[in-house]
A and B are shown apart, each in its own frame.
Chain A
Amino acid sequence: MPDSTLRRGVFTAIGVLILCVMLFPVYWMINASLQPSGNTLTAGFLPLDPTFAGYRRALSEQGQNLVTSMIIALGTVVLSLLVSAPCAYALSQFRSRWVGAGLLAILVSQMIPGIVIANALYTAYENLGLLNSVPGLIVANCSSGIPFAILILRSFLQSLPASLVEAARVDGAGLVRAFVSIVLPISKNSLITAGLFTFLFSWSDFLFALTLTTKGDVRPVTLGIYQYLGTQVQNWNAVMATAVLSAIPAIVLLIAAQKYIAAGAIGGAVK
């Protein structure tokens, strides 16, 4: 029916328009990052004369900070998944009156402002010597990673048929072995999903970077951008280039996680 085809075409056009409006700031960030140095805000709508001067400056001044952010984010992913996966399995498969309490605790934890955690961790880290340290920031970032990973993994593991693990148990596998050799491999996709999001939370962290570092030696890139905003607004191309570099994980996740979220439902392993 040509009429309905036309209608659907119009809808697609409207959809593209909505997307253009919503993503304009992202485009503008990229555009501004390619402008010559100086006050690039006078930039036109297209980077007709693109230069990578902003990126050169960003990489020389913020390169180390990008590496720091990467190490912290990867550390947060590893620690969060190690802690969350067994707990998510327990919350989904073990029958206990504590399950409800555990879930409630996780939900209530979402109401606690980061500043409360920062207040307490600052004073504790001061005594433990964890201020200005990568491990200190990894632990702090787990406060967003762990609850989220538990919820994601649990919702997947709930659909896991108990018979799978029981079969292994009958063959003599202990609880731990069954978990490691059966549950974890089946959960690969949801582990990746939880890991990608945890990475992103930690990579995006600004509050803990701001409050739990006092010197310049450990400085995640979010803090680097913040300090740029305070001092470097004459070099918008470098600020925007750093912003673009910091946005890359989000863009990659958007493309990669699409697949993993779709595959999140129980895969071919059971069927």
Chain B
Amino acid sequence: MVHAPTRPSRSEAPATQAVRRAGGRRRRSEDLTKLLFVLPAAIAMLALFGYPVVKNLVMSLQDYGLRTFFTGAAPFVGLDNYVTVVTDRLFSKALVNTALFTIGSIAFQFAIGLGLALFFRRKFPLSSLLRSLLLLPWLLPLIVSSATWRSILEQDNGILNRSLAGLGIINEPVPWLNSPSVALIAVIGVNIWIGIPFNVTLLYSGLSEIPDELYEAGSLDGATGWKAFLHITMPNLRAVAGVVLVLGVVYTIKVLDIILGLTGGGPANATQTLATQSYERSFVDFKFGEGAALSNILIVLSLLFAIVYLRGTRRAVDE
């Protein structure tokens, strides 16, 4: 109360006004404090996400290459970078691979994850311990998983080929990571393994939230087994399943570590995706303009999917 009235107050009015003014001042200073609570995070988000997005947009319109780092010159080239990357002979391949990788990974992760989540909903001893240990593949550094799977999938002495041969399933060792025709399948397989725990965890928590009464009421109407799954589990799981799928696609479409660790995009570019292409253009060829253009295409695809999906679910909910 710095500005408390000095003259004797004839009535109470000025005093209350002063109190109100002081209150306003305190509120203003508190607003400032509140701002300070958010400011560091806001700056961090702007620096770590806002700036990169803007910088990528600008770079994608520039001839931003190795020369730029020496001369500082990055001439504006309009949409040249986009034309270059889209007309590249690898673009359609990378696009198809990205789609196959994303769809293949998500479909199997989700199906297996849902199956396991349903299984773990049955009450049995050690159920929750086993379920939490199942998280391990998801928590491992991706490069650790890549290294491990490379040793398992190794063509001549890897344990997978040795086991399959020992069981008489294959005669010739399968070149899992060395043949253009199977490498993408192997990479998708590894990514499915990594993603299963995430799907199980989220779907399990979704299943736990479906009230038991629904199943009890359903069983009175004869809805058990498959029928209960179709008419009770699926509709009630829709929201959680949506979150799992959207997050899954958004995370999978930009996967880079696993592919770099397993195949580096090879053999013969069989496992190149938009993300690995973008990495190569920027950090192997030092053509940052082209790399930025590709990664912007990746963001747009990711956003488009999220919007289309959210639209679709909203319509489904409205109906």
Contact = CB atoms under 8 A, between A and B. Distances in A.
Given A111-B306, A254-B139, A22 B193 contact: yes
Contacts of B124: 8-9, 11-12, 15
Given A119-B291, A229-B261, A22 B137 contact: yes
B134 A210 contact: no
Contacts of B130: 12, 15-16, 18-19
Contact of A28 (B151, B196, B298): B151
A232 B151 CA distance: 12
B143 A206 contact: yes
Interface in B14-64: 30, 33-34, 36-38, 40-42, 44-45, 47-49, 51-53, 55-56, 59, 64
A73 B38 CA distance: 23
Interface in B269-299: 275, 278-279, 282-283, 288, 291-292, 295-296, 298-299
Nearest to B68: A123
Interface string A110-142: 111111111111111010000000000001101
Interface residues of B, number: 84
Interface stretch (A49-57, A81-89, A159-167, A187-195): A81-89
Which residue of B130, B196, B296 has the most chain A CB atoms within 10 A of its CB atom? B130
B80 interface: no
7 contacts: A23-B136, A41-B151, A105-B45, A120-B51, A120-B56, A250-B139, A254-B136
Interface of A: 8-9, 11-12, 14-16, 18-19, 22-23, 25-26, 28-29, 32, 39, 41-43, 82-84, 86-87, 89-91, 94, 96, 98, 102, 105-106, 109-124, 126, 139-140, 142-143, 146-147, 150, 174-176, 179, 200, 203-204, 206-207, 210-211, 222, 225-226, 228-229, 233, 236, 239-240, 242-243, 246-247, 250-251, 253-254, 258
Given A29-B148, A207-B256, A251-B136, 10 more contacts: A86-B36, A90-B34, A105-B45, A115-B295, A116-B292, A119-B55, A119-B282, A206-B260, A210-B283, A243-B144
